[in-house]
Amino acid sequence: MKGKNLVILAAIVIAVGAYILLVERHRPTTDEAKAEAEKVLQDFDRDEVTGIVIESAGGTVRIEKVGESWRLREPLDFAADESAVSSALGTLANLEADRRLPADEIDPAAYGLEDPPIEIRLQTTDGGEIVLDVGDEMPLGSKRAVRLAGAGEIVVVPGWFVSDIEREIDDWRSRDVAKISEDQVASIDIGAGNDRIRAVRLDDRWQLLDPVRDLGDHDHLRGLISDLAAMRIDEFIDGRVDPADLGLDVPEYEITVVRADGGEPLRLELGNTREGESGTEVVCRRGDGEFFWASETVRTRLSKAPVLWRSKKVMPFETWDVEGLGLSRGDDTVELEQVDGLWRFAEDQTEVDVSGVQDQLRKLADLEATDYDLMAPVTAEMGRAEVRLKPTGDETEGRVLSFEFFAPLSEGGRAMVTVGGRDNVMGVELADVDAILGDLASLRPAPPEEGVAGDE
């Protein structure tokens, strides 16, 4: 019987523990429940709001959620300032009552609610609508009365919350020119007069298609995207606009960014410039008809000659992404691999000086071209380098980068290099090739001196 009682008691303890774990711990504490009861919008989930309409003396403001972003729809169509919308919803979610008054015992007109100066309507994901009337500012304390549709009370609240609701229209508009990052970009097309630059992003590298087909300058293209993302609107231009007056009939630059997710491409034209309070500004047209003045920093990067958008580095890579390195010069060849964070010779797993290997890799990753589009090499091969990268994503094997170096055509001239992934013969400094191939024998550990160990 004692054993049976112990089993029953254990089952009860487990059941009570499960109840506490699954039910009680998710219930609000007394303080949390009290705080929720003091809120004007109880059980309000701001993440379920899909639309906001604000009616006031200044007119109607209508904002709706499009995907994960907010867009201003009335009085004009424009991207909404995400922080302004978030702040307004947060203010409403946290608005607390100072006093609650039964609606049937007071005169709404005395609190400015007969014809409220502000009405807020929140559309929700379930198709419902939350309507909140806001009365006039009350004397002696700057409080306001609000009335929630369907509620049998009028609530007096601190009046400061109105500043988050009753904004000027420009304060609802986003001042971001382009919300974008490199991993969201599929391609970039730039027009500058008769010049055209076009590049596509392939995994971790950029391929230049115009004005030449070659590896794109990764750092420059990444910097361009960063510059676009950093641009801010200084002044909106509304009403009738003549593009010719702004230099946009023949733009200085035309930029099209195609998004990797297939979303609406970014189309941006740059025209005249002016001196603003914080520096030089450029007039822009975004899409079909959004005009504004914005910071002009991006023009510096756009001014680079089209042919210089190709990668100056022969084949850049990150040294920490390498798991194998092969070097050959004449009859001497070494094959190295990284095992458990250590570099070893592939043939016998002898350890290699890590600093020496990293130095070779850095020199190879930083190797820069001095000339492009040279004739096919006719001189002797100086040596080769092969870099094996670690697999990424769903790859079972990483990419292999193969470099082949050739002697200069004449004494004192530049060496030449070809590399897989670039249909191009490039000139490079002879000293750089010598530094990369180096003295391969120096990578091998020195044999132990005779008599140092084992002589007892």
Q: Could you read off the pLDDT of 243-289 as tens digits, one per residue?
A: 999 999 999 999 999 999 998 999 999 999 999 888 999 999 999 88
The topology under which CATH files domain 319-443 is Immunoglobulin-like (2.60.40)
Q: How distant is the alpha carbon of residue 451 from its chain centre?
A: 62
* pLDDT at position 17: 67
* pLDDT at position 106: 84
Helices (H), 237-367: 298-302, 354-365
Beta bridge partners of 328: 333, 384
Domain boundaries, the chain: 37-172, 182-309, 319-443
H or E stretch including 264? none
Give the span between the Cα atoms of 110 and 190, in whole angstroms. 62
Residue 129 identity (one-letter amino acid) = E
CATH architecture of 37-172: Sandwich (2.60)
Is 397 in contact with 414 (CB distance < 8 Å)? no
Is 129 in contact with 53 (CB distance < 8 Å)? no
Is 291 in contact with 224 (CB distance < 8 Å)? no
* pLDDT at position 389: 93
Is 85 in contact with 91 (CB distance < 8 Å)? no
- pLDDT under 50: residue ranges of the chain: 454-456
Quick check: do 37-172 and 319-443 share a fold? yes
